[in-house]
Amino acid sequence: MLVIASDHGGAELKEAVKKCLEGRGIVCRDFGTFGDDSVDYPDFGVRVGMAVSRKETAQGILICGTGIGMSIVANKFPGVRAALVHDEFTARMAKEHNDANVLVLGGRVLAADLACRLVSIWLDTDFAGGRHQKRLDKIALLEKKLSRG
């Protein structure tokens, strides 16, 4: 299962991405929003960030107008590696080098067909491990140190 959420700026693209995921046989849990009425993106980003951080799901997708706000929110959660992507290269590197477990897209900057391609690349790419794992371990250690205050 994959969780997905958006604010009003990403609601339309979220629906297109959900159709792409369903076409791949991937079950999505949609945390909203469900329309174009103005909402606050942190209220929706926190739902995905929390679900991934608590390991209720392995992966999530967040969409807001640019993707920037959702990236900031999601990366506040321990264990979340949210990556904002805009092209095929960044989608591949998000997983291959950073093992991103949350993909972030900009609803006002990406066409639906490109967004679906980026989601597919991210899902189909394997984490390379090796020297990249060492870097993720450093991030995890930093998270532990910061959580102790």
Q: What are the residue numbers of the active site?
A: 64, 97
Q: Which of 43, 22, 21 is nearest to 34 (CA)?
A: 43
* CB-CB contact of 147 with 78 (8 Å): yes
* CB-CB contact of 61 with 16 (8 Å): no
Q: What is the 3-state secondary structure (H, E, C) of 45-74?
A: HHHHHHHHHCCCCCEEEEEECCCHHHHHHH
Tokens representing residue 147 in the block? 């959580």
